[in-house]
A = this chain, B = another copy of it.
């Protein structure tokens, strides 16, 4: 099963973090490797921000310190994920190429002294990036420490869109190739509106700050173009490395935390998906956001094992209030990623840096040193992961898919939408959270994917839906699937143009309903719905629905659509299409979903409150990863062998408050994704 998966030449679950030896003395390096051994560290990412120290001026390289670091790590049994440092070009680069600086929409040229790449379209930046990547690959392709290549860092952050002359030139070239003719472009962008017709390619600019709202189709295309350009930067470096080196190549994504890259497309270009994830501290249930990120990382990679490239041992440094993790939370976070398919658990960063913008970011080795709660937990986690080598390569199954479409997010995120209360991530989280609490594992998918393996597909935020993707969804229902569509979906096509026939028209076939008018609610307004015998509560949005075949399952009792259908259900072919034209609160969504589960033939797990359970499937074995987020011990009926405690469990696993178990049992399953 795992034979086809490219993976670093490493045993077991990888464990470690970013390592920045260039910030420290040689003496400290030796202390570092000793403590790494103590913590069971097997993989560190090196060189991510080292350009200025490796290429000290154009074409002049200093490899000595890196040679020494790699040798030292290798001698101590720590493998290396070697970074290309192109997320942060040196001062000399910008001094030589001031035109390579990124320009904001307002025309501000971003300065040096922070982090952030140059213009994705600067030929000088492209050439310099390929040069340093090539030289690194040439020198270290055969170094025994190097098991993985880490290109760049978090593409798209902290800067993606660029409005410089380089970007505009490439933008016009991209448009020319994408549209072929100005007639096509004018039609796609609807330039007849507000008098924006273009008669020359050279007249098209970037969608910079203007007197009012800029053409949304133009802005949507600019988001696409930016994504393509960033990916081209990655591909150029990847190919430069591949020309000399055989190890797998990755770049670290920011699933669910940065929207600017279409990870479905990016995942096709990397050998291994890797992801950075940071808790949003203000979220009291931040482990749910974590699970979304992990499931998304697995999903974009087609279900293949992936690497958690960065997370934090405790607080981060860039949120309004950087809440420290409570004891055990770091381990629970790690095991949730692991349960959802991560075969590597890494942190930013090994040793807390004394200087710079992120000095208050936690690390494996905190400012307080090794005699600290955090480092003790790091050592403990390393030991535990060391017992899980056999799980590597096993896979996660899901019966439910939630649609996650970056293009739709980009489109919906533009200006002048019907209500400021529209928030596609909020709806995804709401549906996901219900499934999480029911311990139903979720994949994410695009509307154009083959969805036939899923019992239930949910579209919480599919504002943009092409006709062909809509046909795919209709066909999914017709063939027996259960589809749930939330409000403000299927509104526009791929050019942000309202569908002919009106909102939702492309899904009329599977949903049996049409939307005559959007009815956003006033700020703070709430309305009840009658749903069988239950009274549901919803807010933010209603719609004027016209039934075209569906049955009305819930009716508005108040608000602008009072007396009209709120939730509908439509039998289409062998399947069922639900439409939810408002925003039910969590309690109401639970009531609704329990009905939908029946249509889909799904049963929620009957597990105690706060117990998260995910399963990984190997050849003939199943690993139950159980995480007790609650503050009391819970019992879980199961039998098997707890890999963490190395204890046999006969009928019930008891998890103490905050504890985790990884239980192996035999299974008829053959592993692999759905």
Q: Write out the residue numbers on chain B whose beta carbons fall within 8 Å of the beta carbon of A30.
A: none
Q: Is the CB of B108 within 8 A of A196?
A: no
CA distance A209 to B111 in the complex (A): 6
Contact of A189 among B200, B355, B359 (CB under 8 A): B355
Q: Are B49 and A195 in contact (CB under 8 A)?
A: yes
B517 touches A374 (CB 8 A): yes
Instruction: Using CB atoms, name the residue of chain B closest to A108.
Output: B106
A193 to B355, CA, bound (A): 7
Note all chain B residues with C-beta closer than 8 A to A190.
Answer: 23, 353-356
The residues in A between 481 and 534 inclusive whose CB is less than 8 angstroms from any CB of B are: 492, 495-498, 500-503, 514-523
Question: Do B498 and A356 touch across chains, with their CB atoms under 8 A apart?
Answer: no
Say yes or no: is A217 at the interface (Cβ < 8 Å to chain B): yes
Chain B residues with Cβ below 8 Å from A250 are: none
Partner of A372, one of B53, B516, B518, B523: B516
Chain B residues near A213: list those with CB within 8 A.
Answer: 114, 318, 357
Q: Smallest distance from the beta carbon of A500 to chain B beta carbons, Å?
A: 7
A156 vs chain B, min Cβ distance (A): 11
A355–B496 CB distance below 8 A: yes
Interface bits A90-128 vs B (CB < 8 Å: 1, else 0):
111011000000100011111111111000000000000
- Looking at the complex, which one of B110, B357, B418 makes contact with A216 (CB distance below 8 Å)? B357
Residues of B within 8 A of A208 (CB): 111, 113
Residues of chain B within 8 A (CB-CB) of A91 are 196-200, 203-204
Known: A91-B196, A91-B199, A197-B91. A320 touches B420 (CB 8 A): yes
Among candidates B113, B199, B315, residue contacting A207 with C-beta atoms closer than 8 Å: B113
CB-CB under 8 A from A353, the residues of chain B are 190, 193
Alpha-carbon gap, A256 to B523, bound state (A): 24
Q: Which of A361-369, A378-386, A398-406, A611-619 contacts B (4 or more CB under 8 A)?
A: A361-369
The answer to whether the Cβ of A85 comes within 8 Å of any Cβ in the partner chain is yes
> What is the bound-complex CA distance between A23 and B215, given in angstroms?
14
Indicate whether A373 reaches chain B with its CB closer than 8 angstroms.
Answer: yes
Q: Which of A211, A215, A352 has the most CB of B within 10 A?
A: A211
Other-chain residue from B112, B354, B420 in contact with A498 (beta carbon distance below 8 A)? B354
- A205 near B418 with CB under 8 A, answer no
Q: Taking the nearest CB of chain B, how far is it from the CB of A361, in angstroms? A: 9
With a CB–CB cut-off of 8 A, which chain B residues contact A372?
516-517
Chain-B contact segment, one of A321-329, A435-443, A580-588? A321-329
Q: Does A59 contact B (CB under 8 A)?
A: no
Q: Is the CB of B320 within 8 A of A518?
A: no
Residues of B within 8 A of A23 (CB): 190, 192-193
Residue of B nearest to A495 (CB): B355
- B517–A211 contact, CB under 8 A? no
**Chain multiplicity (copies):** 3
Inter-chain contacts of A215 with B (CB < 8 A)? 113-114, 356-357
* A194: contacting residue among B115, B196, B198, B354, CB under 8 A: B115
Contact between A205 and B111, CB atoms less than 8 A apart: yes
Q: Which residues of B contact A518 (CB under 8 A)?
A: 315, 322, 324, 360
Q: Inside 8 A of A217's CB, which chain B residues have their CB?
A: 355-356
Q: Which residues of chain A from 18 to 66 have a CB within 8 Å of any chain B CB?
A: 20, 22-23, 49-53, 56-57
Contact of A196 among B52, B110, B315, B502 (CB under 8 A): B52
A578 to B360, CA, bound (A): 24
Q: Cβ of A214: which chain B residues have Cβ within 8 Å of it?
A: 111, 113-114, 357
Cβ-based interface call for A560 (8 A): yes
The one of B20, B197, B204 that contacts A192, using a Cβ cutoff of 8 Å? B20
Quote the shortest CB–CB distance from A516 to chain B (angstroms): 4
**Cα separation A32 to B209 with both chains bound (whole Å):** 35
User: A193–B357 contact, CB under 8 A?
Assistant: yes
Asked whether B110 lies within 8 Å of A107 as measured between CB atoms, the reply is: no
Task: Say yes or no for A358: interface residue by CB 8 A criterion.
Answer: yes
Closest 3 CB pairs of A and B: A190-B355, A116-B211, A193-B356
A–B Cβ pairs within 8 angstroms, 17 of them: A49-B195, A90-B195, A91-B199, A108-B209, A112-B210, A114-B194, A159-B211, A190-B353, A321-B418, A324-B518, A352-B498, A355-B498, A357-B415, A360-B418, A362-B517, A372-B516, A373-B517
Which A residues lie at the B interface, using CB under 8 A? 20, 22-23, 49-53, 56-57, 85, 87-92, 94-95, 102, 106-116, 158-159, 189-200, 202-218, 281-282, 314-315, 317-318, 320-324, 326, 352-360, 362, 366-369, 372-374, 415-421, 492, 495-498, 500-503, 514-523, 544, 560
